[in-house]
Chains A and B, each alone.
Chain A
Amino acid sequence: GLILLFYLVFYGFLAALFTFTMWVMLQTLSSDIPKYRDRISSPGLMISPKPDTALEFYFNKSDSQSYAEYVSTLRKFLESYDDSKQSQNINCTPGRIFDQNEVAVKKACRFNLSELGQCSGKEDDTFGYSKGTPCVLVKMNRIIGLKPEGEPRIQCTSKEEGMVEINYFPPEGLIDLMYFPYYGKSLHAHYLQPLVAVQLAINSNSTKEEIAIECKILGSPNLKNEDDRDKFLGRIAFKVQMTE
């Protein structure tokens, strides 16, 4: 009896103490930006759609079921880029870092879906999958305060030459500097990260073969793309196999 009471009091005290110290610790944090960002100094690359099986696309261009999931993922992903959702976003000056340090309310820059051209889903609602020219969107991870230098652009290569022709939207895979820096979820609520669409025009005699694609971020000295350990830092590799 007494022993149970003792432990009740003892653990009650410890729980209170834990809660209190956690509360104190949380008080020292800002709700806008994390205290330290040294663990993510350089952004990773990611693609959409992201297949469940480790970054490998398998589909039959004549079987709409085989790519339906990719298409719906893309559509869902692009929903937030719809013009109707971007009514509050402003048109920023291209080619320049959009510094808003002094401004209390941070504005988000408009990203026009039309920039994605054939991969915007407006002309082809299967994003090219039905034509054998599948689109993959490449995005750069959001990192608060990151200001890329130079002219960052996405460039993809295929190891197997001649199997695939790669087109970029916007042209040359450029990422505009005006989308940086990012000010964080709470300050920068409507922020949209810039996208680069990669359209893979698969050679008709290369069907049934697995094509390995690697995309890298180039043209910016402060964005790493060759880390030994982190295979997704400024680069991403995926495979595509299309049948007819």
Chain B
Amino acid sequence: IQDDHKLSTLELEEKYGTSINKGLSSARAAEILARDGPNSLTPPKATPEIVKFLKQMVGGFSILLWIGAVFSWISFGIQLAQGAESPFDNLYLGVVLALVVILTGIFAYYQEAKSTNIMASFSKMIPQQALVIRDAEKKELSADQLVVGDIVEIKGGDRIPADIRLIFSQGCKVDNSSLTGESEPQPRSCDFTHENPLETRNIAFYSTTCVEGTATGIVINTGDRTVIGRIASLASRVGNEKTPIAIEIEHFVYLVAGVAISIGVLFFIISVSMRYKILDSIIFLIGIIVANVPEGLLATVTVSLSLTAKRMAKKNCLVKNLEAVETLGSTSIICSDKTGTLTQNRMTVAHLWFDNQIYSADTSEDQTTQPFDQSSPSWTALSKIVTLCNRAEFRPGQENFPIMKRVVVGDASETALLKFAEVILGDVMNIRARNKKVAEIPFNSTNKFQLSIHETDDPNDKRFLLVMKGAPERILERCSTIMINGKEEPLDSEKAEAFQTAYMELGGMGERVLGFCHLYLPENEFPDTYPFDTDSMNFPTSNLCFVGLLSMIDPPRSTVPDAVSKCRSAGIKVIMVTGDHPITAKAIAKSVGIISATSETVEDIAKRLNIPVEQVNRREATAAVVNGMELKDMSLQQLDEILCNHSEIVFARTSPQQKLVIVEGCQRQGAVVAVTGDGVNDSPALKKADIGIAMGIAGSDAAKNAADMVLLDDNFASIVTGVEEGRLIFDNLKKTIAYTLTKNIAELCPFLIYIIASIPMPIGTITILFIDLGTDIIPSVALAYEKAESDIMNRRPRNKKKDRLVNEQLAVYSYLQIGIMQSVGAFVTYFTVYAEQGFLPSTLLGVRVDWENNAINDFEDSYGQEWTKYQRMYLQWTGYTAFFVSITIQQVADLIIRKTRRNSIFQQGLFRNKVIWVGIFSQIGIALILTYGLGHVTALNFTPLRFQYWFVAVPFAVLIWVYDEVRKLFIRRYPGSWWDKNMYY
């Protein structure tokens, strides 16, 4: 890092070839710009669109389907060479399979692109302007045109356009929170104050903001070479972890592909050894693969996730990466910021002390009145001081806004006092106008008080009123009396003691305390023409009358305590990580419940037992407040120990860099970690986290870029709704997958029985695709709308290793139980259709070779009738249609039973999820269209079907429903039993 902060102005001018008064010449600036490039951060390298697209084409089941397509084309080639009659069937099948892969790939790509686009809007920023001296003239330039050596001027409210070495400053303060996380504005001057360029006062950093004052400086770093730029490029180097749902889906794909390949290969071997031709065996293999692969499922999962993402966006959680939807549900630790996330990010009066008593004020976001007792005359006096001794003002033209939402010109504490007074007294500006200000001494850091002198609004009282506020101990020093119940009483040691106790108590709550006092100047000494002079202070500033204390805090958002307790019951550990002072941090942690009322830190125990901290048994302390300074010296092991042993942890005074260390520590415990952040420096931690959550309002662009999710309202409670949605979608995806997998068996069995028993083919490959990509799609998406079965927020987060999306029970129950029942139902329909047309089941066994022989056109049925090949084929397609219809009918039952995994359907309500019914009607509607509408299109292999065949499988559908109800009943009745363990998925 450079040592520009150590150089003198002259040395700097020389180093950068510039002049403080004239700046660079335009020509020179253009040269440097050409050399260094524009002053902007290089966006992280995006994967080329074509690579993203191709990835969709080969991911998941696509490879299996490509293999199927290639086999189809190979067998087409062989058949064509052999001169077989209908080789084009296989060509078409291959084309259809390829189309399926390409279309689902395009769909997934489109979905992903859509969610990325939401974010693109964020990165479009209004181009920033900078005031630059060039060619001895002041110019407004776009900030990305800045070069090293430029002289820039900044004023309060500006964003610092580059790393700048200050050469002139007037009351300049910067907010470095995006860099260091410290929310307190820091003064900036031209003086070299620290060896470390990050700590010295004469450098202002790119992307921080100037809060007040003005300054002029020389640009010393631009673009990626700025401090922020270097951190941003560090963030892009932190690897992206796979999301839990991606791992689950991969696991599921492996499982299904494993089943498909092993059954395929097994039956390939069986059919070869049964002396089928190799070519036929290959065609069987394709059929088995197509039957086993749930072609529509991955698209369904994407749709379900994006539906949830939409729902979450409505609740102010904007999800950038679809898979992050579920990650939030598996979260077991949330590392949350304090300011703005847990708190309202504005100072608010929390407590008052007058008449020897502490009063609590309402700190909620939408206060309109204050409930504490306002009858005491002391309060009247105090309120007058609060109103008058205050320089903050409302921006004009906001009369219609609620008081708490109005914009105020002034610092945080004065703003708090102004709003407090406005809520109680109403129209503060009018009160001030009636009590004309005649003199004023603003707050400064040497005397630590603020003073003003006013005329009173009582026309009979010609006295001037002197009001003063400031640091309580300094104010008390200047007082000789204290107001109790409106009467001035001498300030004796007892009363001073009471003041001390109150002051300590309020300070101990992490609040910023101010003291207030006043004095009515005697009319004879100070007539209304008296010339008050603030420089010589020709008026009394001691022996005043102490009136009271007010303490302020950035109060927690009112929804946060509830959200934290929800997290707690959901088994999620909330860790506060803040740059603030430990006392404030602990106070807020206590008030929102991150540290619960009964738990103690090691220090608390030590204090209670009156023993040194070292003697306390660390295991007894459930809570811990860790200072950033301590953290710096800790080994990883010690950090792990703290994370392990304490359930309630607050990290205070931490730098954003330490956030990364904490996140890594949590991940070492096997936790799924969510991290909130807004600063640029948070971006490595956001990226490292399993789910990074950036703040939509306060967040920097770098943070939003690194995050997986953006909280539009910066509210912690929104995370909790996100967690709920995430858990729900995990459960519902389980149901979707179970639903989809079931019918795979009903699609697979026909092939296996066809090979083994040599019956006419019960269902065609194209027909299977119509189920997987036609009738089943909408119902499986509909399961994403299913409500939770029980309070999902009372469960512990799922164990990444044990609670899989697709577990053994799910696969076994779907494949070996419901799937087989469906197959039986479908086969009954199949045999019925053939028998009623003249082929009794006994005739069908072993007929495959003759049945499929094109030269046999007098094939005899069970009644002595003779069939041509085409007549047989047409009957076979009727069989396909019947099989298809039976699967569809039984899938309706399957859909209904998948609504719940444990509860009875009647507990869940059959009609609560309307979308399920949309699914059922769509399913039946599509089947009707296919059979009766498209029944005459030969290529699709559907034929119009007699209406009664729709009902053959109905008893089996009912059986599936009843059986599943019994299964659930036993699961509920006998938790932990053999049945529960084997049947609950």
User: A: which residues have CB within 8 A of B?
Assistant: 2-3, 6-7, 10-11, 14, 17-18, 21-22, 25-26, 29, 32-37, 39-40, 43-46, 50, 52, 54-55, 139, 141-144, 182, 184-186, 188, 191, 227, 229-233, 236
Contact = CB atoms under 8 A, between A and B. Distances in A.
A6 B979 CA distance: 10
Nearest to A45: B857
B838 A22 contact: no
Contacts of B860: 142
Interface in B927-955: 938, 946, 955
A215 to B, nearest CB: 13
B875 A39 contact: yes
Interface string B831-863: 110011110110000000000001101101111
Contact of A139 (B817, B858, B875): B858
Nearest to A234: B868
B874 interface: yes
Given A25-B835, A141-B865, A11 B870 contact: no
Given A18-B828, A54-B854, A55-B855, A141 B867 contact: yes
Interface string B815-834: 01100110010011001100
Given A44-B858, A232-B870, A34 B863 contact: yes
B410 to A, nearest CB: 74
A22 B828 contact: yes
B945 to A, nearest CB: 12
Given A39-B878, A142-B864, 9 more contacts: A3-B982, A25-B835, A26-B835, A36-B836, A44-B858, A44-B867, A184-B863, A188-B864, A232-B869
B866 interface: yes
A21 B824 CA distance: 10
B837 A39 contact: yes
B864 A39 contact: no
B865 A35 contact: no
Contacts of A54: 854-855
Given A143-B865, A233-B870, A29 B820 contact: no
Contacts of B874: 39
B871 interface: yes
B828 A25 contact: yes
B978 interface: yes
> Would you call the interface of chain A mostly helix, strand, loop, or mixed?
loop
Contact of B828 (A21, A143, A227): A21
Given A29-B835, A29-B836, A39-B837, A141 B824 contact: no
A185 B864 contact: yes
A188 B865 CA distance: 12
Nearest to B817: A10
B837 A22 contact: no
B857 A144 contact: no
Given A34-B861, A39-B871, A141-B865, A14 B824 contact: yes
A55 B853 CA distance: 12
A236 B837 CA distance: 24
A-B interface, 9 closest residue pairs, ranked by CB to CB distance from nearest:
A185-B864, A44-B868, A141-B866, A230-B870, A34-B838, A35-B836, A46-B858, A232-B857, A232-B868
A202 B727 CA distance: 83
Given A37-B838, A40-B871, A142 B832 contact: no
Interface in B772-822: 816-817, 820-821
Interface of B: 816-817, 820-821, 824, 827-828, 831-832, 835-838, 840-841, 854-855, 857-858, 860-871, 874-875, 878, 938, 946, 955, 959, 978, 982
Contacts of A232: 857, 868-870
Nearest to B946: A36
Given A39-B871, A55-B855, A142 B828 contact: no
22 contacts: A10-B817, A14-B821, A18-B824, A25-B835, A26-B835, A29-B840, A35-B837, A39-B837, A40-B871, A44-B867, A46-B858, A46-B866, A52-B855, A141-B867, A143-B865, A144-B863, A184-B864, A185-B864, A188-B864, A229-B870, A232-B868, A233-B871
Contact of A44 (B836, B857, B955): B857
A20 B862 CA distance: 21
A43 B860 CA distance: 12
A60 to B, nearest CB: 23
Contacts of B869: 230, 232
B838 to A, nearest CB: 4
Nearest to B861: A34
Nearest to A184: B863
A127 B540 CA distance: 145
A34 B836 contact: yes
Contacts of A21: 828, 955
Contacts of A36: 836-837, 946
A46 B861 CA distance: 16
Contacts of B865: 34, 37, 40, 141-144, 182, 184
Nearest to A54: B855
A34 B865 CA distance: 10
Contacts of B862: 34, 185
Nearest to B871: A40
A231 B870 contact: yes
Contacts of A43: 866
B687 to A, nearest CB: 46
Contacts of A39: 837, 871, 874-875, 878
A233 B867 CA distance: 10
Contacts of B857: 44-46, 141, 232, 236
Contacts of A7: 816
B449 to A, nearest CB: 82
A215 B831 CA distance: 35
A26 B837 contact: no
Nearest to A15: B824
B827 A185 contact: no
Contacts of B824: 14, 17-18
Most buried by B among A26, A34, A50: A34
Nearest to B979: A6
A44 B978 contact: no
Contacts of A229: 870, 938
A25 B820 CA distance: 20
Contacts of B959: 17
A40 B861 CA distance: 11
Contact of B871 (A3, A44, A45, A191): A44
Contact of B864 (A10, A182, A233): A182
Contacts of B836: 29, 34-36
A26 B842 CA distance: 11
A14 B956 CA distance: 10
A230 to B, nearest CB: 4
Nearest to B836: A35
A143 B866 contact: yes
A10 B832 CA distance: 24
A137 to B, nearest CB: 12
A185 B862 CA distance: 8
A43 to B, nearest CB: 7
A236 B857 CA distance: 10
B817 A44 contact: no
Nearest to B868: A44
A43 B859 CA distance: 12
